[in-house]
Amino acid sequence: MENMNDSMNINWYPGHMKKTKDLLKANLKLIDVVVELLDSRIPYSSKNPDIDKIIQGKPKVVVLNKSDMADSVKLKMWQDYYSSLGIKAIPVNTIKGEGVDRIIEECKNVTKEKMKSLIKKGRKERPIRVMIVGVPNVGKSSLINRLTGKKSTQTGDRPGVTKGKQWVKLKGNLELLDTPGILWPKFDDEQVALNLAFTRAIKDEVLDVETLALKLIEKLMDIAPENLKRRYKLNELGETPLDIMNAIGEKRGCFMAGRELDYTRIANMILNEFREGKIGNITLEIPDDVVDK
């Protein structure tokens, strides 16, 4: 564990962080509304801790992507939490396009007064200008493709990609400033790093896969024990994550020569099945556990 931050810095191009922040700040004056994209399973861990400072009071719409993979009760807790801050959090599934029209609606809603006052000043009605921001692998490109209704211009999720200002027409008289709106999560919190690794928002190399799978089992023992039992046909859970990993390996026949368990294979299988939603709809954190930490 002690090398977690070292390996994360290698993965996260710290030099580009400042560059991206500066670029976002510079472009903000052109923008009417910021759409902050989060992963429904880890809304806190997939958030950039500085985003609210960066956007300096601009209207904001929160989008909870991958809502089809989240626990619906916990998803509602997150919506209620944002509602208490006066922000609408919209659950979407960008793969199927569910909830995307509500984003357009809410962007219009939060900019209504500004648009009215522009017209009062004799300005011509113009499209609402939107910027979408989020940490890597949270689904920014697929959201943009849904909002444009076609394959969009290159929206590369590579940190630090810069290009000339480019406005992309979206449905509903919106325009997207197509910048690399890539921000970074909070590094100094081990649970955040683990949640990002569990959902593959960061590469598995942050920890070896066996350790990562044991950490995931430990988390699921706490928050979703029934899902573990059901998925792996276990009558009861062992006392430790390793007990459970052994039981799963035996159930699934993950043996090497000499009937030795193949831990790498078991670990990859558990991580993949979690990421594909096969262990069930699971949200790894709720507002009470993490907000104001």
Strand, helix or coil for residue 257: helix
Beta carbons of 171 and 186 less than 8 angstroms apart: no
* Residues pairing with 39 in the sheet: 65
Judge whether 121 is annotated as a binding position: no
Residue 182 lies in a domain: no
Question: How does DSSP classify residue 195?
Answer: H
Q: Are residues 122 and 230 in the same domain?
A: no
Residue 226 lies in a domain: yes
Judge whether 140 is annotated as a binding position: yes
Q: Are residues 227 and 152 in the same domain?
A: no
Judge whether 117 is annotated as a binding position: no
Structural domains counted in the chain? 2
Judge whether 142 is annotated as a binding position: yes
Q: What is the CA radius of gyration of the chain?
A: 21
* pLDDT reported for residue 13: 58
Q: Position of tokens 């939060």? A: 110
Which pairing describes strands 128-134 and 33-39: parallel, antiparallel, or unpaired? parallel
Judge whether 53 is annotated as a binding position: no
Residue 195 lies in a domain: no
Judge whether 280 is annotated as a binding position: no
Reported pTM: 0.87
Burial class (CB in 10 A: 0-12, 13-18, 19+), 111: buried
Q: Are residues 229 and 155 in the same domain?
A: no
Q: For residues 267 and 275, what is the distance between their CA atoms, to the nearest angstrom?
A: 12
Q: Are residues 278 and 157 in the same domain?
A: no
Beta carbons of 37 and 141 less than 8 angstroms apart: no
Q: What is the CATH number of the domain that holds 75?
A: 3.40.50.300
* pLDDT reported for residue 54: 87
Strand, helix or coil for residue 276: coil
Q: Are residues 40 and 135 in the same domain?
A: yes
Residue 196 lies in a domain: no
Q: For residues 232 and 22, what is the distance between their CA atoms, to the nearest angstrom?
A: 48
* Residue 15 neighbours by CB distance under 10 Å: 9
Q: Are residues 124 and 53 in the same domain?
A: yes
Which pairing describes strands 128-134 and 174-177: parallel, antiparallel, or unpaired? parallel
Q: Are residues 173 and 221 in the same domain?
A: no
Residue 192 lies in a domain: no
* pLDDT reported for residue 49: 87
Judge whether 138 is annotated as a binding position: yes
Judge whether 141 is annotated as a binding position: yes
Q: Which domain holds residue 104?
A: 4-177
Q: Are residues 252 and 152 in the same domain?
A: no
Residue 103 lies in a domain: yes
Q: Are residues 22 and 110 in the same domain?
A: yes
Q: What is the CATH number of the domain that holds 245?
A: 1.10.1580.10
Residue 246 lies in a domain: yes
Q: For residues 233 and 12, what is the distance between their CA atoms, to the nearest angstrom?
A: 38
Q: Are residues 170 and 282 in the same domain?
A: no
Judge whether 27 is annotated as a binding position: no
Beta carbons of 139 and 42 less than 8 angstroms apart: no
Tens-of-pLDDT digits for all 293 residues of the chain? 334 444 444 355 567 777 778 888 888 989 999 999 999 999 999 998 888 888 888 999 999 999 999 999 999 999 999 999 999 999 999 989 899 999 999 999 999 999 999 889 888 889 999 999 988 888 888 899 899 886 544 444 444 444 556 789 998 889 998 776 677 777 778 899 899 999 988 775 667 899 999 999 999 999 999 999 999 999 999 999 999 999 999 999 999 988 999 999 999 999 999 999 999 999 999 999 887 65
Tokens of 46: 């997939």
Q: Are residues 77 and 153 in the same domain?
A: yes
Q: For residues 166 and 171, what is the distance between their CA atoms, to the nearest angstrom?
A: 16
Q: Are residues 153 and 76 in the same domain?
A: yes
- CA 105 vs CA 102, 110, 111: distances in Å: 5, 9, 10
